[in-house]
Amino acid sequence: MISVKRVYEVLKDLANKEQRGFISPSEFNTMAPIAQTAVFNKMWSEVLASESIRLSGRDGQRDLSKTNDVREELSMYLRNATQERQADLKYTYPSDFYKLSSAKTYGSVLMGVVTSIPIEIMYDPHRLDYMLRSTLSGPSIGKPVVLVADKLEVHPNSIKKIDIRYYKIPEGVTTAGASTSSQPQFGYTTVAGDEVFDAATSIDFELPQDREEQLVLEVASMIGTSLRDAALINYGRQQG
């Protein structure tokens, strides 16, 4: 994971270069979660771009594959959850939900046979309406579907429990390495007027280490705009 201490110190040194400005911890802490989300969204944009490269036959093989590189990074956000049908016959999302990867009916393994059934994922409500009106291709226990909308809508609605695999949103990691729902922040105490890093109250970024430079550039651009510091803005955009 990326150290919030390191990112803050790099940005502070940059903003203080030639005494052009100052980044307070409160400013940094306001922008850090936003910058993390921006980097995460760019990772997904890279997935779409890499898929285009793969389909055109220009992607590398195995460990040289850009598609594999990005998907390997995103795999750290994969989670499993069991969701139960609510009173409105729909399923709520986990609190850290970002994107659905797969779904299946809740089942077990009996005598070596898996009883759960894969659920087809769809995003078009009009297509679902058409299927529900059809007597030939409508959803069934043996061929269920799930509509991804404000909630998960599973058909047939006699299904009461499902297992989902999903990508979570990036949150935070304590400096001791434990995952937390808290967002990244630079914790500190004030000693003789100076801000001194406090590991106990700090939360690191939940991003792969090789995204550090991209994260620094993202925050630099945001803080540069806030401070109206052309040099800092340019630094943040130099590789963007």
Handedness of CA 132, 134, 140, 144 (dihedral sign): negative
Same domain, 37 and 87: no
DSSP state of 143: B
| pLDDT band of 235, cuts 50, 70, 90 | low
Domain boundary among 168, 196, 213: 168
**Cα–Cα distances in angstroms (integers) from residue 62 to residues 51, 59, 114, 145, in the given order:** 14, 9, 31, 33
CB-CB neighbours of 216 under 10 Å:
21
Half-sphere exposure in the Cβ direction for 177 (13 Å, CA): 0
Work out the pLDDT band at 18, boundaries 50, 70, 90: very low
Same-domain check for residues 174 and 225 = yes
Instruction: Name the domain boundary from 147, 168, 189.
Output: 168
Kindly state whether residues 113 and 178 are assigned to the same domain. no
Do 46 and 70 contact (CB within 8 A), yes or no? yes
d(CA 125, CA 147): 7
Q: What is the largest CA-CA distance in the chain?
A: 76
Residue 196 lies in a domain: yes
230 vs 114, higher pLDDT: 114
Among 49, 4, 37, which Cα is nearest to 23's?
4
pLDDT tens-place string over residues 107-130: 876 777 778 999 999 999 999 999
What are the structure tokens assigned to 176, written together? 């001791």
Query: Could you give the strand order of the β-sheet that contains 97-105, starting from the edge strand earlier in sequence?
Result: 78-84, 161-168, 97-105
- 117 and 190 fall within a common domain: no
Residue 107 lies in a domain: yes
| Residues 144-163: tens digit of each pLDDT | 999 999 999 999 989 999 99
| Residues 215, 183 share a domain | yes
| pLDDT given for residue 179 in this prediction | 95
Boundary (domain end) residue, out of 126, 147, 168 = 168
In-domain check, residue 140: yes
**73 domain-assigned:** no
Q: Domain range spanning residue 216? A: 4-68+170-237
Which of 18-22, 33-37, 195-199, 206-210 is predicted with the least confidence, judged by mean pLDDT?
18-22
The verdict on 223 and 209 lying in the same domain is yes
The rounded distance, in Å, linking the Cα atoms of 42 and 65 is: 18
Domain total of the chain: 2
Q: For residue 192, is pLDDT > 70?
A: yes
Both 154 and 203 in one domain: the answer is: no
The residue with tokens 């460990």 is: 63
